[in-house]
Structure 1
């Protein structure tokens, strides 16, 4: 199951999310067609950034407000979507990592909203988005040492109180990162801005279509979440 805790939806009633559960995956380098599509989306996003500052994108501005509300400095801890946009603006491209990550980044760049791709293998049971107590454990990418989130920050946490993502959509854990062995993944796309419902629905549709095109052997189910419907009961099972 994947769910938002009631405290989170009460504090952030504009939250909208798409959750895509994919099994039977065969992850690896992106095929040429996906690489071409990825490059085309980055080109379009660079043109958008020529007309609109990153901080003025409504989706990014909404995440900055959310981060400030739970005590994270949004200019110090960039949400994942803003980090990708800034990478594009500074370096001109976002390099390929693997097919699953590229699919997530492609959709994130297209809509300027966060998309996280979690390997389910080392995630215990359900994933809940809630405020941290500070007792949970988090292992950063590239590290073997565990730390604790700040009390009150929004985290993605499993049934063993192990954190998959800190500061909502800032940093993903080492255990949840996808790689060559990933066969079961949860993809989460989120928005808080005025048109979040429309954009999240479109982004979720795109994720399903991309997985169908580039992971045709996989089985994919998708869910749309809101404060009125905060849980995907069968996601990740």
Structure 2
């Protein structure tokens, strides 16, 4: 089993039962907008901490080669050291194949359990604006969309670009890459109105990112109040 499969397989059964019992609603977008407003102070704090770092131009791409155990371990140690250096902390999300969407859902809605809604919105963006994305997909685009619709399918850097476009957000990745600490993914056709902060253990796992002092204590929320 690969490093990524090991990392994501462990919590798959427990997390899938939780997420499958939670209904989704298009009202989540409105709720998410309100919650995003409440995060602006935290966003500014993170931005200040990393403002001196140069980010690299982002090229959307599908997932790359999964690193071997030794390289993955070194990557993780490098990421943990960067978190410590900049006073940042990860809100850990389940490694069930949905980690990118869970981390985005936490940043948008302050609840990783909204990951199904985030995935639907991202796939909708990929489908509606096909001409913006299909050149980056080295396979039949319809097959890619069908695959990406499935819960448990790993998100890639193309789905991050689609999420940035869909939600009007700049997505900031603190990475484990040796030569690249920070990647910023901005909407292509409009200025961003919010920022989402994620950590990225290269080709293995995403988590939601906060300043240490702002790291929430997350309790699973019931969603009946949305309806």
What TM-score do you get using the length of structure 1 for normalisation? 0.31
Instruction: Report the structure, 1 or 2, having the larger strand content.
Output: 1
What TM-score do you get using the length of structure 2 for normalisation? 0.32
Higher RCO structure, 1 or 2 (CA under 8 Å, sep 6+): 1
